[in-house]
Structure 1
Amino acid sequence: MTPHPLTWLYVPGDRPSVVAKALAAGADVVVVDLEDAVAPDRKEYARAATAELLSEPRPDVHVRVNALDTPWATDDLRTLAPLPGLSGLRLPKVTSAKEVTAVAERTGGLPLYALLETALGVERAFAIASAHPAVHGVALGEADLRADLGVREDAGLDWSRSRVVVAARAAGLAPPAQSVHPDIRDLDALAVSCAHGRALGFLGRAAIHPRQLPVIESAFLPTGREIEEAETIVKAAVAEEGAQALADGRFVDAAVVAAARRTLSLVRRT
């Protein structure tokens, strides 16, 4: 997988032609969705079509399986987990560490990404994030969380957003990706929302249409000024050990240098 994936493109698992287009759309990760995007009477077809797709090795394809308390989840895991084309499983509506551990024990170390979509899931964010070494990430499912909390204004989700960012960091995981922006036409609003998410500590975002990908990538890649500042900091750190002040008076310590190195790690994508 890309060291720092920024774009995660969701695509319905029961539409193989759309999946094929998604694989060529340039997303860092394609997420084949067997859950919300697939009607109950299409679940078995979606699983079979996805199994065929993943029967040979493929780069960076994940599957969002059905929620673990549904009648489809067991077959999803049993059918898909052993396949060579699967890079990770996204687990919807996770509410406990026990659920994640149970999946990890059945899937042989396959990378797992827990989606927190309820108040209870958010409250247990760190326990879930640190439940098992197979957990590679956590993220919010904001549509369901919004409904669970009865939140009408977007700002009402900011506490939950910060909670999952902190939980991921505390568990030693990569920063979470933002949840999807549902309006695929309003790219300006998407850009504003991405900027807000980046300010909260998110890295990258899930998308539901290829046209959203360039906006997301642009929002989370460092700017030219950020790159220049990071290079200055890292060069100063190499030249002298310990805390120091730059020529412009800014104080640089180990934490500042680490942040600069993280910034430069994203530049390799350009």
Structure 2
Amino acid sequence: MYVPGDRPEVVAKALRSGADIVLVDLEDAVSPERKGYARDATAELLSEPAPGPVPVHVRINGLDGPLAAADTRALAGLPGLSGLRLPKVDSAAALTRVVRWTAGSGLPDVPPLYALLESALGIENAFAIATAHPAVHGLALGEADLRAALGVTDDAGLAWPRGRVVVAAQAAGLAPPAQSVYPDVRDAEGLARSCAEGRALGFVGRCAIHPRQLPVIERAFLPTEREVANAEAILGAGTGSTGAAALPDGTFVDAAVVAGARRTLALARRR
């Protein structure tokens, strides 16, 4: 869940909201005159090894602006940081600048990096960004900026960028990306429909901007009872000596189907 870095009291609540990760935002959620305070408050929070019950990531300011390097150097070595979210990454070179900033600070290790793709160029370079450095742990879309850049007025216009990010993450051996935020915090039905569409495209989980969105997101991405039962039946059938088998209902089962069933049961354990 995203929370503004200049609101420490909101960050404290978010850490106990039920979110899997708290994303402290230094970029869009913070006005220019409060950027310095937000960085200092976030550094204070992360000075402890475990600032809360869930991991804390920080979205720094735009990589092409004057604040990103200072954000990185101030936060990258802190014991409570679990990851840096890098906005508006459009090339592998942009991402490796962050690696140089951490190296210039004398840090022994680069923290986990998560690249936000928010432009047409970023989408085109998705796989190169995903494989730019071993510290890259994930990709995500920044859909608000991407919509504006592309002139997209309907979700159908984002189908290809969304699929591209899912494919690039898989090809690079990264975890499936989480969906971008759903901006209307009062529209639970629309959020649920949008999550179902994202799940069908291969996304797992979603970023939120309000605690009331969290249970809707979790329900949408957890397997149904029927999906769990099917997965258990698949694993119970095995693949036999030929590497393939058929269920009593005639469904064909091979290694790929078994892998999918294991993923389903792994998600179901979150219930």
Q: TM-score, normalised by structure 2?
A: 0.94
The answer as to whether partners of 1:207 and 1:213 remain within 8 angstroms in 2 is yes
Gapped regions of structure 1 (runs ≥ 5): 1-8
| Cα distance in 1, alignment partners of residues 99 and 167 from structure 2 | 23
Displacement after TM superposition at 1:104 (Å): 2.8
- What residue is the counterpart of 2:94 in the other structure? 99
Alignment of 1:1-270 (within 5 A): 9-58=1-50, 59-107=54-102, 108-237=109-238, 242-270=243-271
Deviations along 1:222-243, one digit per CA (max 9) or x if unpaired, are 1111111111111211776610
| Cα distance in 2, alignment partners of residues 165 and 210 from structure 1 | 26
| Cα distance in 2, alignment partners of residues 62 and 239 from structure 1 | 44
Report the AA paired with residue 228 of structure 2.
I
Deviations along 1:192-248, one digit per CA (max 9) or x if unpaired, are 000000001100000000000000000001111111111111121177661011111
Displacement after TM superposition at 1:93 (Å): 0.2
Report the AA paired with residue 85 of structure 1.
G
Number of aligned residue pairs: give it. Answer: 262
| Cα distance in 2, alignment partners of residues 241 and 61 from structure 1 | 46
Deviations along 1:145-173, one digit per CA (max 9) or x if unpaired, are 00000111121111110111111111111
The alignment-based identity, stated in percent, is 72
Displacement after TM superposition at 1:102 (Å): 2.5
Distance 1:125 1:238, change over 3 A: same
| Cα distance in 2, alignment partners of residues 111 and 221 from structure 1 | 26
The answer as to whether partners of 1:104 and 1:112 remain within 8 angstroms in 2 is no
Higher RCO, 1 vs 2 (CA within 8 Å, ≥6 residues apart): 1
Report the AA paired with residue 94 of structure 1.
V
Q: TM-score, normalised by structure 1?
A: 0.95
Report the AA paired with residue 27 of structure 2.
E
| Cα distance in 2, alignment partners of residues 165 and 238 from structure 1 | 28
Deviations along 1:169-189, one digit per CA (max 9) or x if unpaired, are 111111110000000000000
